[in-house]
A and B are shown apart, each in its own frame.
Chain A
Amino acid sequence: ETGVTQTPRHLVMGMTNKKSLKCEQHLGHNAMYWYKQSAKKPLELMFVYSLEERVENNSVPSRFSPECPNSSHLFLHLHTLQPEDSALYLCASSQEWGRAHTQYFGPGTRLTVL
């Protein structure tokens, strides 16, 4: 595998379920990101990890819980979601956490909350 991979690609879950999204980067990067992409809205940055430490948390509801066990893996744990949480969730990575560093994106997980 190369670049940034995400699994699963599609997920349907009920409001009471618990599920996790997985992201893996094969680029040797030190920073990883979670974004939410909803229709008609700009990409929303959710979380940023730099060297496995969370450095940004943009007022995301606690029903979203990130985990970064090492610099190559990033998880987003989901529980008791709402229908408005249905969206494309994108993971990205960059060499370092900093404004000039290019972010490389995975293909995303399409989440539907029933």
Chain B
Amino acid sequence: AQSVTQLGSHVSVSEGALVLLRCNYSSSVPPYLFWYVQYPNQGLQLLLKYTSAATLVKGINGFEAEFKKSETSFHLTKPSAHMSDAAEYFCAVSGPNSGNTPLVFGKGTRLSVIA
């Protein structure tokens, strides 16, 4: 079964600094990969998803993620952090079978942005 590991339960960056949130997945073939964001007292919102097209995926709010098959990674980045980016971020994997398989989520990484 596929699984997701998010390194670091809490990441803290200064406003304007690079944001890097790490996600590694386990799968024998390229899966579908997602990043979701959860703001306080809200549900999850899709940031971006990888579906085997371009390896560099651009999402909303200036975020992007790069699929690296050799490293089984799908790290999320943003060049310059903003205070409004403070939230919980979840990486999720679906697949690799052709059938209907559920999303498997990582434990999440809480991003804090310091002024």
Please report A residues at the B interface, Cβ cutoff 8 Å.
Answer: 4, 6, 40-43, 45, 48, 50, 55-56, 58, 90, 92, 97-100, 102-108
Contact = CB atoms under 8 A, between A and B. Distances in A.
B57 to A, nearest CB: 13
Contact of A45 (B4, B43, B46, B103): B103
Contact of B90 (A43, A45, A99): A43
SS of B interface (majority): loop
A40 B44 contact: no
B80 interface: no
B41 interface: yes
A41 B108 CA distance: 8
Contacts of A42: 4, 104-108
A105 B100 contact: no
Contacts, number: 54
SS of A interface (majority): loop
Q: Which of B36, B44, B101 has the most CB of A within 10 A?
A: B44
A106 B105 CA distance: 17
B107 A100 contact: no
A99 B43 contact: no
Interface in B19-65: 31-32, 34, 36, 41-46, 49, 51
Contact of A106 (B41, B43, B103): B43
B104 to A, nearest CB: 8
Given A42-B107, A99-B32, A55 B42 contact: no
